[in-house]
Amino acid sequence: MTNSIETNKKRKEIIITGFGGQGIILIGRIMGKTAAIGDHMESTMVQSYGPESRGGACSAQVIISDKNIHFPYIKSPDILACMSQSGYDKYKASIKTGNTILVDQDLVRYNKKAEVDCFSIPATRMAEELGKTMMANIIMLGFVTAVTKVISMDAAKSTVAESVPKGTGELNIKAFDAGCYYGLAALKGGEKKVTGLTGAGL
């Protein structure tokens, strides 16, 4: 996969939500690290957990900008990526016209709005087909990367390889690529044309 998509150089505020144990914070760390080191941008990340470290609600707030970032908290995200229904329910009201919502379609019921770009991916199901449910977060990362272009694909892929446990790099890259391909297909042809990417398409 080439890095043919140019990275968006403007400020973007991203919230990734889900449950503790899904690797939500890792998505935020990889996005921030990719932006700062790979794409030479400024980035910040704030993470939050519910009372439980595993299974409770958690989120990562990432800001990426070509200018200095003076405040790391987000009120109205440009991009909202949800891997839990509670995360979507909590933040959906903060999404404004022209923003983008991305969800794991097997975990989140969402309402499409004409003024908001909505994209969905069966990330958890695709991870199960890869044999590693825990890699749903990396599939979602690839999907977010391809759809939003907020970080570059090649830099993100390198950061994934550096950030995952030793011995899992190849499979994580495969998961990232699967998310990217799904996202690129979604941009080109809509969700109906990309459903065939699950199963044998992986």
Model pLDDT for residues 49-107, shown as the tens digit of each residue: 766 556 678 999 999 999 999 999 998 899 999 999 999 999 999 988 999 999 999 99
* Sign of the dihedral through C-alpha 138, 60, 188, 190: positive
Strand 100-104 and strand 117-121: the pairing is parallel
Residue type at position 95: I
pLDDT in tens, 149-176: 999 999 999 999 999 999 999 999 999 9
Longest CA span, the chain: 46
Gap between the Cα atoms of 39 and 62, Å rounded: 15
**Does an H or E element contain 161, and which?**
helix 153-163
Using the 8-state DSSP alphabet, how is residue 90 labeled? Answer: H
Helices then strands, counting H and E runs in the chain, come out as 7, 6
Q: Outline where DSSP puts E strands in the chain.
A: 12-19, 42-49, 57-65, 79-82, 100-104, 117-121
Confidence of residue 42 (pLDDT cuts 50, 70, 90): very high
Are residues 27 and 141 in contact, defined by beta-carbon separation less than 8 angstroms?
yes
Q: What is the pLDDT of residue 9?
A: 56
Q: Residues 194, 184: contact at Cβ < 8 Å?
A: no
Backbone angles phi, psi at 165, to 5 degrees: -60, 145
Contact 5, 134 (CB under 8 A): no
- Is pTM, for the whole model, over 0.75? yes
